[in-house]
């Protein structure tokens, strides 16, 4: 699904990302953790071809993201509220995203209805996205990345601005989509408990490099907490 080969990105003479080799297979649910400035968001932007790598290549479904667009048909993401269209209402925004994927408004409504505890209040909100709270903006972005039935979904800090109830609902929804649809999910989070509860594989990033790649088990949360305490 995702293959990273000898990728580097340098800003002001400093390597923001430097990954020799990484493979994420179809259907995996992978977490990316690291302190601020570790390079997580830059790495996601490289995968999504929002910034260009200085060296190396990133492939999605064997397609180089820098050279083709075909991978975009199966990929969705939500990184931050700046990627939303702030002068639209949530309904207008989701309808626009649906039109890009040939998804009808009825299909969008069905998705919202099935997940109404998480999304209904923002879907029916008549405010412009720019006037919503950070948490509700996040919900709009997450909804837009999930209802399109992606094969790959990338989420940067999806729990950060959500209240506790919404965090639990989102966690359950991601597990369900991964299990039922085989969707590959790659998320970053500062919440170690959420990421260990959710992800079967966790990558630790430091100074732009993946320094640990491990499968989760009963000891993983404690190991991560010990790592970041030092």
For residue 230, pLDDT over 90 is answered with: no
**Rounded CA gap, 145 and 221, in Å?**
28
Q: How confident is the model at residue 215 (pLDDT cuts 50, 70, 90)?
A: very high
**Rounded CA gap, 183 and 180, in Å?**
8
- Report the pLDDT value the prediction gives residue 184, as an integer from 0 to 100: 98
The dihedral built from the CA positions of residue 132, 101, 29 and 229, taken in this order, carries a sign that is negative
Q: How confident is the model at residue 228 (pLDDT cuts 50, 70, 90)?
A: very high
For residue 56, pLDDT over 80 is answered with: yes
Q: How confident is the model at residue 125 (pLDDT cuts 50, 70, 90)?
A: very high
Kindly report, residue by residue over 28-42, the tens digit of the pLDDT.
999 999 999 999 999
**Rounded CA gap, 178 and 187, in Å?**
12
For residue 173, pLDDT over 90 is answered with: yes
How is the chain split into domains, by residue range?
A: 2-229
Q: 3-state SS string over 102-144?
A: CCCHHHHHHHHHHCHHHHHHHHCCCCCHHHCCHHHHHHHHHHH
What b/e sequence results for 165-189 when a residue is b if at least 16 CB atoms lie within 10 Å of its CB, and e otherwise? ebbbbbbebbeebbeeeebbbbbbb
Multiple choice CATH, 2-229, 3.40.50.300, 3.30.450.20, 3.20.20.70, 3.40.190.10: 3.40.50.300
Residues 139 and 146: beta-carbon distance below 8 Å: no
**Mean pLDDT, the chain, whole residue set:** 95
- Report the pLDDT value the prediction gives residue 188, as an integer from 0 to 100: 97
Kindly report, residue by residue over 174-210, the tens digit of the pLDDT.
999 999 999 999 999 999 999 999 999 999 999 999 9
Average pLDDT over residues 134-153: 96
Residues 125 and 136: beta-carbon distance below 8 Å: yes
Burial class (CB in 10 A: 0-12, 13-18, 19+), 163: exposed
């Amino acid at each position: 699904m995702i293959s990273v080969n000898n990728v580097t990105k340098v800003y002001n003479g400093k390597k923001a990302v430097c990954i020799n080799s990484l493979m994420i297979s179809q259907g995996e649910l992978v977490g990316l953790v690291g302190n601020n400035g570790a390079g997580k968001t830059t790495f996601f932007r490289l995968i999504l071809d929002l910034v260009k790598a200085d060296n190396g290549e990133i492939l999605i479904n064997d397609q180089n993201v820098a050279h083709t667009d075909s991978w975009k048909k199966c990929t969705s993401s939500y990184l931050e509220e700046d990627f939303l269209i702030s002068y639209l209402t949530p309904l207008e925004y989701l309808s626009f995203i649906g039109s890009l994927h040939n998804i009808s408004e009825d299909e969008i409504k069905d998705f919202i209805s099935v997940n109404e505890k998480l999304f209904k209040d923002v879907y029916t909100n008549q405010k412009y996205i720019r006037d919503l709270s950070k948490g509700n903006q996040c919900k709009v972005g997450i909804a837009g990345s999930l209802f399109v039935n992606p094969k790959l979904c990338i989420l940067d800090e999806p729990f950060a601005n959500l209240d506790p109830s919404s965090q639990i609902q989102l966690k359950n929804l991601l597990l369900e989509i991964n299990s039922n649809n085989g969707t590959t999910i790659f998320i970053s989070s500062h919440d170690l408990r959420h990421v260990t509860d959710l992800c079967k594989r966790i990558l630790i990033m430091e100074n732009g490099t993946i320094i640990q790649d491990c499968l989760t088990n009963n000891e993983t949360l404690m190991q991560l907490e010990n790592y970041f305490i030092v």
